[in-house]
Amino acid sequence: MDTNKSLSEKIVVGLDIGTTKIATIVGKRNEYGKLDIIGMGKSESVGVMRGVVANIKSTVDSIILSVKEAEENSGITIKEVYVGIAGQHIKSMQQRGSLIRGVDNDNEIEQVDIDKIVQSLEQIAMPSGEEIIHIIPQEFKIDNETGVINPIGRSGSRVEADCHVITGHINAIRDIKKCVERAGLICKGLFLEPLASSDAVLTDEEKEAGVVLVDIGGGTTDIAIFQNNIIRHTAVIPFGGNIISSDIKEGCGIITSQAEQLKIKFGSALATSNAENEVVSIPGLRGRPPKEISVKTLAQIIQARVDEILDSVYYEIKASKFDKKLGCGLVLTGGGAQLRHIRHRAEMMTGLQARIGYPNEHIAKGTDDLKSPMYATSVGLVMKGFQNEDRFKDEIIANTPGDKVVEKGKNPRTDIFGIGTLLDIFFPAEEKDKEIK
């Protein structure tokens, strides 16, 4: 069997279960490493509120519709997916783990040593109902030497690791997995959505210089802060584009669908950008006369809520203590990043430079729709999937005598909690697998 050929033609599917939409992206890689999107499907998300499954049956039905459309567009049958997780239940904290290797231990530090540190952190006491999703090593201390990024291959008797631990509610995690399984799919990996989005829209240079990813979704705004190529802080703000639409609905006395159309077509995050006499006419309901809405009033409603979201973003930036180390400022992505003048408002509110993050840098072939910020997470999940497949391919080849392929056992990188996945992302070279519990 030609392992290289079979795996190089691999097709990966990303499933983004969002608050407003469920997107299924089918992709493969071309010879230049870019993504060819060969199919996509999108359905209205019914059953998800602020990133959390509120109704399993409705969510399953929405997933099935999205996947079916992606199958029809791509001409393949989808069985396995890489899934994103977000929601206001996500929390993060810093933990330090350590390993005593012995004074007389002259052996070089190996992946198994890092695994032992992570395994020790898996045992930390968690609040009731919460569970670890990711453990991400950041920096290491070897004996008295601090600031070590990759300790593998170094010598030392004591190794300490500062780790970023991301947690979520057990029920929320299980409900997502349950929805995927009931839709007839296998969840090959579960990734925190802002980490997937960051792969799709951030450059390595930005991550090194310091950057804040702000993913404004329908139900939540997800934040990931990088500096020196290390994830430093993550947070989820329980407000997104839907709350802006809700404010428009209440403030203008219209229905939800009209509020959403107003936001998309005429909305602005900067109230001063509109003249006083600009108005939009909204058709009346059931024969009632049309209603005129001031575009400036609309912008004032939107700006008030956008400012609240950006205030929360700035609070998280300050809380990270990396506010003075962000050479590349903000990158705004997600559906909410399409709002007019939101970049300017973000710069005014935070004092940092900002740009809109598009996933098109990584897409070689696909529809123009996919180059929108709203698909950053979906594209990022496909990229995460390929990272997983590449590492698993290397394992198969390494364990294959001649042309005989060793049968796959449990792959820790596809574990639902993703701990092995993120370890390998940060230490991809001299890795030795560990078995996830």
**Contact status, residue 416 vs residue 177, Cβ threshold 8 Å:** yes
What DSSP line would sit under 55-116, residue for residue? -HHHHHHHHHHHHHHHHHHHTS---EEEEEE-STT-EEEEEEEEEE--TT--SPP-HHHHHH
What DSSP line would sit under 290-325, residue for residue? PEEEEHHHHHHHHHHHHHHHHHHHHHHHHHHT-TT-
**Contact status, residue 192 vs residue 86, Cβ threshold 8 Å:** yes
| Cα distance between residue 133 and residue 96, in whole Å | 17
**Contact status, residue 239 vs residue 50, Cβ threshold 8 Å:** no
SS3 375: helix
Q: How many Å from the N-terminal Cα to the C-terminal Cα in the chain? A: 31
Token readout for 8 is 């190089």
Residue with tokens 């060793």: 406
Per-residue pLDDT of the chain (437 residues; tens, 9 = 90+): 333 434 457 899 999 999 999 999 999 988 887 888 999 999 999 999 888 999 999 999 999 999 999 999 999 999 999 999 988 889 888 999 999 987 666 688 888 899 899 989 988 888 888 989 889 899 999 998 998 988 999 988 899 999 999 999 999 999 999 999 999 999 998 999 999 999 999 999 999 999 999 999 999 999 999 999 999 999 999 999 999 999 999 998 899 999 999 999 999 999 888 777 888 888 877 778 888 899 999 999 999 999 999 999 999 999 999 999 999 999 999 999 999 999 999 999 999 999 999 998 788 876 677 888 999 999 999 999 998 777 655 444 444 444 333 333 333 333 333 333 444 444 443 333 333 33
Is-above-0.85 flag for pTM?
A: no
Contacts of 192 (CB under 8 A, 6+ apart): 84, 85, 86, 90, 133, 134, 166, 234, 418
Strand ordering across the sheet containing 211-216: 230-237, 221-227, 211-216, 330-333, 354-356
